[in-house]
Structure 1
Amino acid sequence: MSNTGFHSTSAGDVAYFDRAARFYDIFSPTSDADILAEGLAQADRPIERVVDVAGGTGRAAKAIDAEERIVLDASKKMLAQARGRGLARVRGDASRLPLDSESTDAVVISDALHHVGDAEESLAEVVRVLKPGGVLVVREFNPATIRGKLLVRGEHAIGMNSVFFTPEELARMLADAGLVPRVRNRGFDYTVAGVKRTSGTT
């Protein structure tokens, strides 16, 4: 499962994470295992296989209790750090996931969707690889808050092409992609879980 063309995450963002990979976990907060577990619990099927899309060093994957955890990222050096955590790794593009259709029970995108150049295309890919009843859990930052506005300015100042979404915008995007969205909160950091409909449900 390999993919050498990376379009959904800007080249500048990938280059930044390649440079920062060795120190990324030192300056980044740990993933909230309880919040991720709450999101995964929204699934309408057992969670055995989870893919951490744009998962970097595997912070979110490491916090998840699942039989199989896969970190998928465009940055080779971030994946090298995930390897040190003993996690399965796939190098790939979020807009063209190198995964079979309906091959995973859950997808997590933690603090990373804003780095994906075409979020709608990436969400469509997530829906493709999710099994019916599977769930997507997205952890993001709200650009409508004061801290969110500062984050947007900061990332743009260092050359990132980040595009942030409010909880309402993201919930609408998940619904448009064919998921049933549920918003956990609407603060600076928030979570939206989207469940893929099973046949016969509306």
Structure 2
Amino acid sequence: MTPTDGDIGHFDRIARFYDSFSPESDSDVLREGLEQAERPIERIADVAGGTGRAVRALDVNEEVVVDASAGMLAQAHSHGLACVRGDATRLPLASESVDAAVISDALHHIGDPDATLAEVERILRPGGVLIVREYNPATVRGWFLVRGEHLLGMDSTFVTPEALVRKLDAANLVPRVRNRGFDYTVAGVKPTPGTP
């Protein structure tokens, strides 16, 4: 399941206004995550990417936004992005078809993050990187964010940086914590066969 049905409906309703009240993606942090890749970055997937804010902050030859919300994808399409409607736990992309993937401010909306990370590992080329931007529920601001999203009727499930590192490791992605705090970033690199 990607985001839960209630979350999809919420994003469909706010899609037209989403970019107006959401902060821009931190391009420096995302670029730093891309630098963890062990291959050139030509094609990137913005998984559960909504309006494509993350890939719009990057300068990559080819981007594709995958999301379950038709409303959010319509907004991404209006920005000139290639879009595919789909479930993050069954990504509609070929195996080893992207050099990088981003999940920015979205993993907590996905009902099965472990299945999603396994799918990202499948679509990444060897040496490719996944960048996950999330919010830490163990911080004071994180505690309020969790309660706020639940009050809005969302079924959000947040994880700490340490828990995300374990999930990336279980998905065969070599984790590298880029920063910690309320908003944090973890990169996971898909090993190249034959490397330790």
TM-score normalised by length of structure 2 = 0.99
CA distance in 2, matches of 1:114, 1:58: 17
Partner of residue 172 from structure 1, selected from 162, 166, 171:
166
- For 2:13, the equivalent position in structure 1 comes to 19
Whether 1:10 and 2:14 are equivalent positions in the alignment is no
**Regions of 4+ moved over 4 Å:** none
What is the DSSP-based 3-state SS (H/G/I as helix, E as strand, rest coil) of the residue aligned with 1:30? coil
The amino acid that maps onto 2:91 is: L
- For 1:126, the equivalent position in structure 2 comes to 120
The amino acid that maps onto 2:175 is: P
Alpha-carbon deviation of 1:8? Answer: 2.4
What is the DSSP-based 3-state SS (H/G/I as helix, E as strand, rest coil) of the residue aligned with 1:95? helix
- For 1:35, the equivalent position in structure 2 comes to 29
**Alignment RMSD:** 0.6
The amino acid that maps onto 2:127 is: G
CA distance in 2, matches of 1:102, 1:176: 18
Whether 1:147 and 2:165 are equivalent positions in the alignment is no
Matched length: 196
The amino acid that maps onto 2:80 is: G
The amino acid that maps onto 1:63 is: A
Alpha-carbon deviation of 1:185? Answer: 1.5
Would you say the 8 A contact 2:126–2:193 is kept in 1? yes
CA distance in 1, matches of 2:136, 2:59: 27
- CA distances 1:133-190 after superposition (whole Å, capped 9, x unpaired): 0000000000000000000000001110000000011011101100110001210000
Whether 1:75 and 2:69 are equivalent positions in the alignment is yes
Whether 1:114 and 2:114 are equivalent positions in the alignment is no
CA distance in 1, matches of 2:188, 2:114: 14
- CA distances 1:96-147 after superposition (whole Å, capped 9, x unpaired): 0001101100000000000000000000000000000000000000000000
CA distance in 2, matches of 1:168, 1:88: 33
- For 2:39, the equivalent position in structure 1 comes to 45
Would you say the 8 A contact 2:2–2:68 is kept in 1? no
Q: What fraction of aligned residue pairs are identical, expressed as a percent?
A: 68
- Where structure 2 has 5 or more consecutive residues not aligned to the other structure, the ranges are none
The amino acid that maps onto 1:15 is: G
